[in-house]
Amino acid sequence: MVARWGDLNRYLAFASLLVGIVTAALDRTFGGFAPVHWFLLAIFAFLIVICTEVVQLRLFFESRQEK
């Protein structure tokens, strides 16, 4: 079960990375996407995860300084 939205983004990133590896190994396209498209989608999803974590850390440290 997904505990947070960040977990869902991580699962989507790893799934698209895995699909990219499989499509590259089989030299096929699934869903009309070449392997490079799956890798770009995975990179984009990982960037969303990183930005989400950085924002959460920033909010945590800002709330600590106010006390």
Q: How many CA atoms lie within 13 A of 2 on its CB side?
A: 9
Both structure tokens of 44: 């984009």
14, pLDDT greater than 90: yes
Domain ranges of the chain: 5-66
**Residues pairing with 18 in the sheet:** none
Average pLDDT of span 11-39? 92
The alpha carbon torsion through 35, 37, 41, 47 (nearest 10 deg) reads: 100
28, pLDDT greater than 60: yes
Helices and strands per DSSP (H, E), number in the chain? 2, 0
